Structure formats: C-alpha cells, structure tokens
A and B are shown apart, each in its own frame.
Chain A
Amino acid sequence: MKHCLLLFIFFCLTKIASAQLGNLSGKVTDHNQKPVSGATVELKELNRKTMTDDNGNYEIRSMVYGSYTLNISSIVTEFKSMKIKIAGSSERINISVKDRSHRELDQVTVQGKTEKRKIETSGFSVNVIDTKEASLRNLQTNELLNRTVGVRVRQSGGLGSSATYNLNGMSGRAIGVFIDGIEISTYGSSFNLNNIPPALIERIEVYKGVLPAHLAGDFLGGGINVILKKGGMRNNLIASASYGSFNTQQTDLSGTYRDPKTGLTLRGSGFYSYSDNDYEVRGKFVRNELPNGQMVETRGKRFNDAYKSYGSRFELGYTDVKWADNLMLNYNISDTYDEVQHGQYMSRPYMGRFSKSKAQVFGVDYRKNNLLLEGLNFTFNGVYSDREQYIQDTVSYRYNWNGEKVIGIRGIPLRTLTGAQQGAPTMNTISRQIATLRASLSYNIAANHKVVFNHMFYVVDRQDSDELRTVLERNYLSTSDLTKNVSALSYEMEAFDHRLRTNLFAKYYQQKIDRMDPVQQVVNGQPTRVERVTSDNRNTTGYGLAVSYSLKPNFVLIGSAEKAVRMPGEQEIFGNQSDNVMANPSIKPEISDNLNLGFRAGAYQFDAHSISISGSGFIRNTQDKIVALSSDRSVTNMETTNNVNLSGVRSIGFEAELNYIYRKLNVVLNMSKFNALLQDKASLFDGKQIPNEPFFTANGNVQYRFNNALQKKSVLNVFYNFGYVHPFETIWQLKRDEFNVTPTQFIQDLGASYRFPNQKMVLSFDAKNIFDKEAYDNFAAQKPGRAFYLKFTYNINNF
C-alpha cells in the first residue's frame, strides 16, 4: 500500500500540467478611490479565494483560460459580483466597490478573518486563534491556547515546563497536537508549543471532539493544529526581543524572500528562549522538613527550574510556479535544556535533575491545485525526524525549599532513599527515528461537490540506553517499532446557494507493532542471547459527519458527529519490564462517540456597536476506556500494573463566546462548563465527576486602541485579561475534603503595545498576575506570581 502511494507521489511530482494558465491581479477601491484592505476576492467556479492586502491589491495565480465569476465581499463594503475573462498570461482587473456605511476603514478587524470564519463555519466544532496580536506581545503560545474557550493547558510550572492539553474534558493521548497537520511528536520535545513563539505561527485551529479527515490520527477528544507562517507573497523580515521577570529572555527572527520572476522562495526563522523560572512558591504544599520529621510551611524560590531552548527552521523552494503552487524543502533543528524542580507534587524539591533534547527534522511540502485536470488538487508532506532525549538524575542529597540540603535527625545531610531525586539514578538516552508521510488528493466532481482522499503513514523506531544500568540489563531490554496507517475518505458538499455545507467522512486505522524481546536460550550447549520477535497487527474504522447551515448570512447552525478511535499504545499492549507494567495483548481500542451542536451568530451591527455570539453543546461517550490497574498480589509480591479496558466516561457540556466591538473597544468573553461523568454501574462513583480535571472555566479579554496617542500615526493598544478556574476535586471522594480541592483561581493581567508611526516598530509591556494570586495548574504545582515583561518587535515589509 505505502509503496503504491510513494510511486503515485513520485509520478505526480514529475508530471507537469500542460493546460494554458494565466494569472489575475488588480486593486479593490471604494468610491473615494481609497484601497479596501481585507476584502475577499473569490473565483466562484474554481472556489478559489484570496484577500486584498493593505493597499487593496489581490492576486490569483495559475488559472486555466476561460470565463469566470468574480465575487468581492468585505465587512465594510457592499457585495459585488462580476463576470471576467482570462485570456492572457497576466490579466489585471481593478474593481471599485460601494461603501456599506460611513464606518472608518481602520475599524475592520484583522487580516485572516475570512479564513478564520471559513474554518469556524465548516461544520466542525472548531476555534481559530489568530496570533497576529499575540505575536507583538509577551505571550506564549500556551497562554494563548489557555484563553481559548473550552481549552485548558495544564502546565506544572513556568516557561518550558511540560504541558498537557484538555479539550472539554478529554486529555492526554486522546488529544492530537499537529504542526501544519503533522503530529508534533515527530518534531521532538525540543520543538513544541512551549517554544514556538506566536510570531512564527499564522493561526491555531482547535478542533473539539470531531477531527476533520485531513488531520488523520487516532484521537478521541479532538486536536490542536498549528499553522506556521508562510510569509505570504511579500518579502518581509520580523525580529523581536523580550526581557522580563525571572530573567526570562526571548528572541525570534523570521524572514521571507521571493523572487517574483522564478518563484524561488526562501524562508528562515529562529528563536531563543531562556528563563531561570526562579519565582516564589508558597502555600500549604510548600513545606520544609525539620530534623525530627516535622513539617513547617515556608516560602521559597524555585532553584532548579531553568529552561533554555533554541531552534531554527529553513525552507527553500518554489511558490506559484507552473508546476507547483508550493514546493518547499524544509529543515528544522532545535535544542532544549530543561531543569526539573519537582515531581507530580511540590512536596519535595529536586536538585540537579534535568533533561536535554534535540531534534533534526527534514521535510518536503508539495501542493498543486488543478493538477492534470481542473479541480484535482494534490498535497503531500513528508517528514523525517531524528530525535534524542537525555535525562539525568544523579544527585542523592535531599534539598529543601531554601535550596539547602535537608538535615536529618542525626544532624547530617539526608540522602534520598532511591539514590536520586526521582526514583533510581539515571543517565538515560532515548533515541527515536520517526517518519511521517501524508498525502491528500481532492477532486471537485461538480460545482459544490468535492471528494477528498487522505493517507497518513507513521513509523517510529525507539532505542533506550541507560548508562547506569548494567550491561546485562541493557542487553536484555526489549525494543519496538510502531507503524501506523490512517486512511480517510471524505465527501464535501455545498447546497442551497452555499447555505448548507456538509462533510461526510470515514477513517480506517491500522497499527502494527513489532517488538523484539531478547531471551536466553541454550544453543549447542551454550546459553545464548536469542532475539524473539512478536508482532501485533490490528485495525478498526471510524466515521463521522459535519454539517453547517446558514439560516441567515450572519446566523449559522453547526453540527458534527463522529465515532472516533484511539488505538492502544505500545506500552499498553506489550508492557514495560522496567516499570513493572505487564503485557495485555488482548486490549481493545478505545472508542468514543462525539456529538457537537452549536451556532455562530453575528456580527450584528447597531450603529457603531458590533456583537457576535457563538455557543455549542457537546456529548462525548467513551467506551472501553484504557486504564492502568495495579495488581499487587502476584506470585512474588512485586507490585505490577497492567492496562485494561474499563467501562466509559460521558462528558456533557457547553461553551459560549461573546465578542463585542464598539469603535476602538474590543471585548471577548468566553466560558466553558461540562460534566465528565464516570459510566460504571459497578462503581460507587457511577455518574460522578472525574476528579483532577477543571470543569468550569471562564476568560475575558478587553482591548482598547488609541490612535495618534503620543505621536501622529502611532497606535497604542491596552489590554486587560482575566482567567477564572473553578475549584475542582483532585481525587475521588464521597465527602468533600477541602484539602483535596484546588483553590479558586482568578488571575488578571494587564498589557499595552505601542506601534511607532513608521509602522515598523512595536514596543509592548505586559504585567501578568497583577494581584500576585496563587495560581495552580497541575494539582498543587504552583505557577508564577506577579511578573513583568517588555518586548520590542521590528518589522520590515516589501524590501
């Protein structure tokens, strides 16, 4: 199967389309001859869209000669439709449109709005996060996600600390995280949402529950797809540097160059982040130990939590040439150093435990619309990555929150019982080689009917090596390879004058694990190491439907349903000797029925007021949930764990978002509340909320803009943000014990950004957690208190 696919891809890459093609460009102006920016220009027959730039210019490339309908729409102008004809290689058509009202042009919201709206009304339960504003401010990508409705980022500390994502009550392996549609694990832990600055991101799509076919993978709870900046058609260079509390330094640089004659395109970006993360922690979990074992509450600065990360990405290729809309070769390199301050709980601070990871990733992207025949679009991504992760933990002294050695009852420093800070001493290197290939072919069967076929192939090969293990143990550790194939076929239809959009899809999951267990056998009278290979092959199917219906132009109903699948992982099937996890070869995939129903209304205009509202409800019904069970009465009294299928969990909830704009004021409020209830008739907790998951959160952002504030033509934006997390229980309990409940969290931030009159420089200042409230994320793991950051961004366009 995969060989056929590769052959096909090769065939496609070498074939060059032979039809005559022309380019269309022009300028959109209003009745005052002023350019209209952000207007959508659409070639109706080809379903191809573009947006006008700040000067009103648009460009659509590589169209077959012929007659077309051109539609121009914008929030500030009246809709216009016109017939055009492409007969030459470069047609220029300027368009004049009527103003809708006398609103100022600068009130039109940001670029990318139409792409955002297009995705958000595609039928899937999806939010699109625009990173344009955030890229100029002192915001991390994870912070931006955390402010999104229904998304909870659970991070155990400051900058760089490991993060997990919770989408409306689903988390862990149920959530897929992608970069440009490729699973993020391919890039390794040194290139993740912790260190990719918003400046390098075009937008983030957050799918809840139902994933569209092109994001193929076995995920139950949805996914986060990060679209990296492609730089557009213009040459540009953006550089920024920021400095703030806890010695936090971040810089990034990105640039694009395109030769208009040949289409040769060069892009490069790089980042560097560093933080001491030495913020103060306090509260009931921060205690120092006296020599007689008594515990006293204390305050302490984190002392083993520094984080350093740098990386860069280079791309070289051709854009908008006859034989490719996009052909880019890319190379990523990244490196991270991360100190670990504590384990799951803050009870005991660590000294000297750290991890280092590095990754080199090679990739190729190819995209060609109207390949061979009109309406046949082809894309291909291939990524190969070589990742290495090293964990070291060799310090055997115990430390307290003052960063000093703990003195024991005999007056001498105490050593840990295990010989290291967290478990046994380790100097472990894990190497992984991962290849991901993804190809997509779509064909417009007729106007408004499209079929898309997607295939994803994933293979990972992993080796572990711990310097501190004996050669004997290392010789007999098992190794395994994992191969995944996910095929998806979807059918997209638009009807009733684009008011109804449907997307019907089916997915086929196949997973194969080869595991090599070395065993000792007597061969010719000699005990010999023999490699025993076992293989596990399994497959399953899922399917779904996404529908959106536009009752009125500004009122859209959205619904989606899917039977989603998560295949059991390598450790869940084969176990892991070193962690005493037993094998369970008969474990079944986890299946979830996901249902979403919602609406998007607006924007409604009342004079200068504009309001848009969206809301949705959801049900997720998970069966055969995979959980780890401990069995501590086996023959040798060794505590062991194995993974089994349990009855399920049902999540029911809703989320809502309100956006209000009045002249220069922009307010966004959102909230999400759900019940994730255990479905297990045999359990006392049947029908009770799953603990350790925040289930009620709310966020608010207020932004106000001052034009010409200090200097003429300058822009000053001020921001206010709050985040609320309702207290939640951290373990199963029949009676509420406040010790096992996180406190109410209400964190407020302030910020301002100033754009200088030359439009090239932006200076921004952020004060986070201004009232220095205790903020927790993972249970009892405290996040930074009050902190200040300053950032400078320099931007050059069209050089």
Chain B
Amino acid sequence: MKKQFLKLLMFGAFATAVTVTGCSKDSETTTPEENLGDANRWITVSGALMGTTPGDGNGGTMVYSVSVTDAKNPDKSISVYDNGFPVRSQRTARLQSSIDGSTLFNIAYTGPNGGEFSKYKVNGGASYTELADKVNISSYATASPRWVKLFDNDQTGIAVNVSNVKITTEANGTTYRYARGTSTVLSLNLQAAGIKTYEQYEIPLSTAEEAQGFYIGRLDAPVLNKAGDKLIIGASKSKYNPATGLTDNTGAVKIGAKSVIVDYPSLKNPKLINSTVSQGNTNGYRSFNAFLGEDGNIYQATQNGTAGSHILKINQSNEYDNSYVFSLDAALGVTGTYVEAWRYAGNGIGYAVYSVADKGGYIARLDLNARTATKVAIPDDADLSFNQYQGFVVNGDEVFVAVTPVGKDGNIYIMNSRTGTLTKGAKLVNKAGNHYIGVF
C-alpha cells in the first residue's frame, strides 16, 4: 500500500515534469517555424461501446494512452477494447482533457453517479489514476449535464442544461401562449474540484417565435470571448404544436440560429443573439462547437439548418456578423452537410468531421478567412460515421483525429494545419458495433 502510494507520488512528479516542460516549450515556439508541439505528452484514445445497436455508443467508454511517437507510428496497433481502461459512465462519458494531455476530466452521464465530475491522471497505457477530489453537479445541472472546459489553461469547466420545460396557456386554459424551461449555467473549478457559481433563468424567445411553439430545448458548447467578460452558449430550438400542445418534430418551420450570452464570471444577465445566416442549432453534440480565433472573433458551427451546416461569426461586440456567410454545402459542393464536431487549429484553419444527408463520415479542412473547405483524403467507407465524435488533439501544427468505421479497424490520422498534409498514424483495432470517438 505504502509502495503504491510512493509510486503514485513518483508518477505525479513525472507528470508534473512533463507538464512543466510542455508549457515551457509552448512559450518558446512562437516563431513561424514548423511547430511540432509537445513530443513528450500522452495521447489518449477513446472508444465508445455499443449499447443496443451497432454504433449507438451507449455502452460506456474505454480509454488507452500512448506517446506522441507511437500515435504517429502506423506500425503500432492500439486496441482500447482489449487493453483499455473503462471510464465510469452508464452511457458515453463526456471526456475533456488538459491541454498537456496529462489529466482527463469526466462528468458521468446518467446512471447512479450521473453528474459526478472526476479526474484521471494519465500514466500511459491502460493506467489511469482516479483522483480523490470529486464533485457532483447533478443538483444544479441534472445527472446528464452537457459541459466543456474553457480555453483558460484548464481552470474552468462550464456545464449547462435546460430542464422543466412547461407550457403556459392563456387564462382560458386552451389557448397556447408559450413554453419555457429553466436554463442552468454552472462554472466548475477543474483544479480543486468544486462548484464556483451557478445561475438559473428562463430565457424567452421573441413573442412571435414563442407563439409559433418554439422554445430553447438545449444548451451546450459554451465559449469565452476575447475580452473574457462574456460566455457565448450554443442553443437548440425545440417546438410544440400550439394547436394541440403536443411535441412538433416535423421540422417544417425553422427560425434563425441563436446563442445565449451571459456575463463572465458572474454568469448573470442572459441575452439571446440571433443569426440571419442560418436556421440551424448552435449547440453541437457532445463536444466543442465554437472557438475563439486569433482575430478576436468567435467561429461557431451550426447543425440542422435548412441548407446544411454553416460556420457563423460572432464579433467582439458579442453579436452575430451576418455579413459573414460560410456555407459548407456551397464550399464543398454537396447538399445536406452536418458538422458532427470540429476543431479550430489556429491561423484561420479548422477541421470539421461531417456527414452529408445523414450519411457517411468525412473530414474537411476549413479556411475561415477564405470561407473555403476542402475534403481531407481519408479513405471513404460506408460504415464511417463521426456521430458522437468528441475529441481532437491539437499539438502544435498537428491535429490528431481517430477514424474508425463502425465495427472496422481504422487509424489515427495526423493533419498538419499549416501545410495541409495528411499522415496515417497508429492502427486502431476495433470490435463489432463499436467506434472510436476521440483523441485527447
């Protein structure tokens, strides 16, 4: 027992050393030279287990970590399903990692420990040490919270949720007025696990939109603005049929894309902003959906719009810039693009994993300044889908992504955001019904 503790301490010391070297390296390499990032960090690969049908990923999450060198080596094989470590969650875990890859953050999604935030020290291979400081946020953000960390050197996580949606009628009881839920925004101290603060409010849409039956159904993917004084939170719209008070899932009518803006760090004063470019949702799915660029603008992807996905721009006044129109359908020359997840890599370049007309899985390199997109040449496969995809690692110029068709072996791919080159990395060994959902 004592020995184990000693080992743990040593691991801790080693990890700290890695962290320190990693940080110092980062600050050194600001030259326009090729930036290979931190060569000593861990790359954690995660895979989702199927629940009831292949590809649903509802059976929990397995993780395994390798060195950067191994992750880039196509002769290496990684099998999280045979050798990995199970992260505790009834359904897919909501993982985030520290910038240096040394710590995994997880909030369990549903189940007996739903809403529990925990941290794992990455020790290489299947060795993860669960740290003792835990905090449960389910009282504030339900047992199935949606959360991401802010890009503030791993200080803060933001969890959001909409609950208790209720219909209000006129006094006669039969004329629909509006539906509203309670929105919760909560900030979490990632370093010493604990809740920082939280706020709850009703966020009404416009009277006209509410009369049509719309309401804010989900919040997700918050991002901090350049000034550090506002959070921009992605939102999805749901709809009732005002004639009957029943859910309307037809999607026949859509209204403009929206985000919720709140003060930071107080989380007070919620306000809605509205885009005229897209009618989609801006909450993403289980990972980041908006990023702050070096130009001070925020770039946000949309899903479920009327004409495929868009990248929207939110300027430094925290308003949508409706003069910026970047349609992925137009840029890629297809109809029905849907961004499953994306990651900003710096210098106006991002990588998006997407489907077309609810089919397939593709990667596109996005040039946010030129508003162009090019398909990245990963092998086409009918069983490839990035639904539920959660994690990219940006290490210097290089962006790591895990590509596995459901039930088939795949690879880590490394995309160089500066040069645009694509390199095949380590082999990912798969199992029936499963897929890899991220690198961290």
Q: Which of B257-265, B289-297, B393-401, B428-436 contacts A (4 or more CB under 8 A)?
A: B428-436
**Shortest distance in angstroms between A622's beta carbon and chain B's nearest beta carbon?**
14
Residues of B within 8 A of A409 (CB): 195, 197-198
Judge whether A16 is part of the interface by a CB distance below 8 angstroms.
no
Q: Which of A285, A472, A527 contacts B173 (CB 8 A)?
A: A472
Which residues between 394 and 417 of chain B lie within 8 Å of chain A, taking CB atoms? 407
Judge whether B166 is part of the interface by a CB distance below 8 angstroms.
yes
Which residues between 286 and 305 of chain A lie within 8 Å of chain B, taking CB atoms? 289, 292-295
In contact, A419 and B167 (Cβ under 8 angstroms): no
Q: How far is the CA of A646 from the CA of B142 in the complex (A)?
A: 31
Contact with B along A248-289 (1 / 0, CB 8 A): 000000000000000000000000000000000000010001
**CB-nearest residue of chain A relative to B198?**
A409
Judge whether B163 is part of the interface by a CB distance below 8 angstroms.
yes
Which residues between 377 and 394 of chain A lie within 8 Å of chain B, taking CB atoms? none
**CB-nearest residue of chain A relative to B184?**
A417
Judge whether B236 is part of the interface by a CB distance below 8 angstroms.
yes
**Shortest distance in angstroms between A353's beta carbon and chain B's nearest beta carbon?**
16
Q: Which of A149-157, A679-687, A766-774 contacts B (4 or more CB under 8 A)?
A: A679-687
Decide yes or no: A637 and B236 within 8 Å by CB, A295-B134, A417-B182, A471-B169 being known contacts.
yes
Q: Which of A178-186, A210-218, A666-674, A727-735 contacts B (4 or more CB under 8 A)?
A: A727-735
Judge whether A634 is part of the interface by a CB distance below 8 angstroms.
yes
**Shortest distance in angstroms between A25's beta carbon and chain B's nearest beta carbon?**
63
Which residues between 218 and 252 of chain B lie within 8 Å of chain A, taking CB atoms? 218, 236-239, 243-251
Residues of B within 8 A of A686 (CB): 432
Count of chain B residues near A, Cβ 8 A: 80
**CB-nearest residue of chain A relative to B54?**
A682
Judge whether B175 is part of the interface by a CB distance below 8 angstroms.
yes
Residues of B within 8 A of A520 (CB): 243-244
Which residues between 723 and 774 of chain A lie within 8 Å of chain B, taking CB atoms? 731-735, 737, 739-740
In contact, A646 and B53 (Cβ under 8 angstroms): yes
Residues of A within 8 A of B236 (CB): 636-637
Q: How far is the CA of A88 from the CA of B84 in the complex (A)?
A: 85
Q: Which of A295, A630, A637, A740 contacts B136 (CB 8 A)?
A: A295
Contact with B along A380-421 (1 / 0, CB 8 A): 000000000000000000100000001011000010111100
In contact, A292 and B195 (Cβ under 8 angstroms): yes
In contact, A734 and B62 (Cβ under 8 angstroms): yes
Decide yes or no: A734 and B49 within 8 Å by CB, A476-B244, A682-B433 being known contacts.
yes
Judge whether B56 is part of the interface by a CB distance below 8 angstroms.
yes
In contact, B58 and A630 (Cβ under 8 angstroms): yes
Residues of A within 8 A of B198 (CB): 409
Q: How far is the CA of A292 from the CA of B136 in the complex (A)?
A: 9
Q: How far is the CA of A424 from the CA of B179 in the complex (A)?
A: 14
Which residues between 418 and 438 of chain A lie within 8 Å of chain B, taking CB atoms? 418-419, 424
Residues of A within 8 A of B31 (CB): none
Q: Which of B58, B112, B134, B139 contacts A779 (CB 8 A)?
A: B112
Residues of A within 8 A of B281 (CB): 637
Judge whether A711 is part of the interface by a CB distance below 8 angstroms.
no
In contact, A780 and B112 (Cβ under 8 angstroms): yes
Judge whether A703 is part of the interface by a CB distance below 8 angstroms.
no
**Shortest distance in angstroms between A401's beta carbon and chain B's nearest beta carbon?**
14
In contact, A471 and B433 (Cβ under 8 angstroms): no
Judge whether A104 is part of the interface by a CB distance below 8 angstroms.
no
In contact, A470 and B250 (Cβ under 8 angstroms): no
Decide yes or no: A735 and B62 within 8 Å by CB, A627-B52, A637-B304, A682-B432 being known contacts.
yes
Contact with A along B281-319 (1 / 0, CB 8 A): 101010000000000000000011000000000000000
Q: How far is the CA of A100 from the CA of B41 in the complex (A)?
A: 86
Contact with B along A467-498 (1 / 0, CB 8 A): 00011110110000000000000000000000
In contact, B173 and A470 (Cβ under 8 angstroms): yes
Which residues between 136 and 160 of chain B lie within 8 Å of chain A, taking CB atoms? 136-143
Residues of B within 8 A of A414 (CB): 139-140
How many residue pairs link A and B with beta carbons under 8 A? The number is 182
**CB-nearest residue of chain B relative to A478?**
B246
**CB-nearest residue of chain B relative to A731?**
B90
Residues of B within 8 A of A732 (CB): 49, 51, 59-60
In contact, A684 and B434 (Cβ under 8 angstroms): yes
**Shortest distance in angstroms between B341's beta carbon and chain A's nearest beta carbon?**
13
Q: Which of B85, B143, B217, B250 contacts A637 (CB 8 A)?
A: B217
Q: Which of B164, B245, B283 contacts A417 (CB 8 A)?
A: B164
Judge whether A519 is part of the interface by a CB distance below 8 angstroms.
yes
**Shortest distance in angstroms between B336's beta carbon and chain A's nearest beta carbon?**
12
In contact, A292 and B194 (Cβ under 8 angstroms): yes
Judge whether B116 is part of the interface by a CB distance below 8 angstroms.
yes
Count of chain A residues near B, Cβ 8 A: 59
Q: Which of B62, B137, B168, B387 contacts A293 (CB 8 A)?
A: B137
Q: How far is the CA of A633 from the CA of B284 in the complex (A)?
A: 11
Residues of B within 8 A of A710 (CB): none
In contact, B112 and A345 (Cβ under 8 angstroms): yes
In contact, B431 and A684 (Cβ under 8 angstroms): yes
In contact, A472 and B175 (Cβ under 8 angstroms): yes
In contact, A472 and B176 (Cβ under 8 angstroms): yes
Judge whether B135 is part of the interface by a CB distance below 8 angstroms.
yes
Contact with B along A1-40 (1 / 0, CB 8 A): 0000000000000000000000000000000000000000
Residues of B within 8 A of A293 (CB): 117, 135-137, 139-140, 194-195
Q: Which of A406, A418, A685, A733 contacts B86 (CB 8 A)?
A: A733
Decide yes or no: A739 and B88 within 8 Å by CB, A637-B281, A732-B60 being known contacts.
yes
In contact, A472 and B244 (Cβ under 8 angstroms): yes
Contact with A along B37-68 (1 / 0, CB 8 A): 00000000000011111101011101000000
Which residues between 168 and 226 of chain B lie within 8 Å of chain A, taking CB atoms? 168-169, 172-176, 182, 184, 193-195, 197-198, 200, 217-218
In contact, A737 and B88 (Cβ under 8 angstroms): yes
Judge whether A640 is part of the interface by a CB distance below 8 angstroms.
yes
Judge whether A347 is part of the interface by a CB distance below 8 angstroms.
yes
Residues of B within 8 A of A633 (CB): 285, 387
In contact, B163 and A684 (Cβ under 8 angstroms): no
Decide yes or no: A285 and B60 within 8 Å by CB, A417-B142, A476-B244 being known contacts.
no
Judge whether A638 is part of the interface by a CB distance below 8 angstroms.
yes
Q: Which of B54, B251, B285 contacts A683 (CB 8 A)?
A: B54
Q: How far is the CA of A408 from the CA of B387 in the complex (A)?
A: 36
Decide yes or no: A638 and B247 within 8 Å by CB, A294-B193, A682-B433, A731-B90 being known contacts.
yes
Judge whether A617 is part of the interface by a CB distance below 8 angstroms.
no
Judge whether A247 is part of the interface by a CB distance below 8 angstroms.
no
Judge whether A109 is part of the interface by a CB distance below 8 angstroms.
no
Judge whether A580 is part of the interface by a CB distance below 8 angstroms.
yes
Judge whether A577 is part of the interface by a CB distance below 8 angstroms.
yes
**CB-nearest residue of chain A relative to B142?**
A417
Decide yes or no: A471 and B139 within 8 Å by CB, A294-B194, A684-B81, A732-B49 being known contacts.
no
In contact, B142 and A475 (Cβ under 8 angstroms): no
In contact, A473 and B86 (Cβ under 8 angstroms): no
Q: Which residues of A contact B (CB under 8 A)?
A: 285, 289, 292-295, 345-348, 398, 406, 408-409, 414, 416-419, 424, 470-473, 475-476, 518-520, 527, 577, 580, 627, 629-630, 633-638, 640, 646, 681-686, 731-735, 737, 739-740, 779-780
A-B contact pairs, 22 of them (CB 8 A): A293-B194, A295-B135, A347-B112, A414-B139, A417-B141, A424-B166, A471-B173, A472-B174, A472-B175, A475-B244, A475-B245, A476-B244, A577-B247, A627-B52, A640-B249, A682-B433, A683-B50, A684-B49, A684-B81, A684-B433, A731-B60, A732-B59
Contacts A293-B135, A638-B249, A734-B86 given; 12 further ones with Cβ under 8 A? A289-B139, A294-B136, A295-B134, A417-B163, A424-B166, A527-B243, A635-B251, A682-B54, A684-B49, A734-B49, A734-B81, A735-B86
Q: Which residues of B contact A (CB under 8 A)?
A: 49-54, 56, 58-60, 62, 81, 84-86, 88, 90, 111-114, 116-117, 133-143, 161, 163-164, 166-169, 172-176, 182, 184, 193-195, 197-198, 200, 217-218, 236-239, 243-251, 281, 283, 285, 303-304, 387, 407, 431-434
Query: Closest 3 A-B residue pairs measured CB to CB?
Result: A635-B251, A471-B173, A476-B244
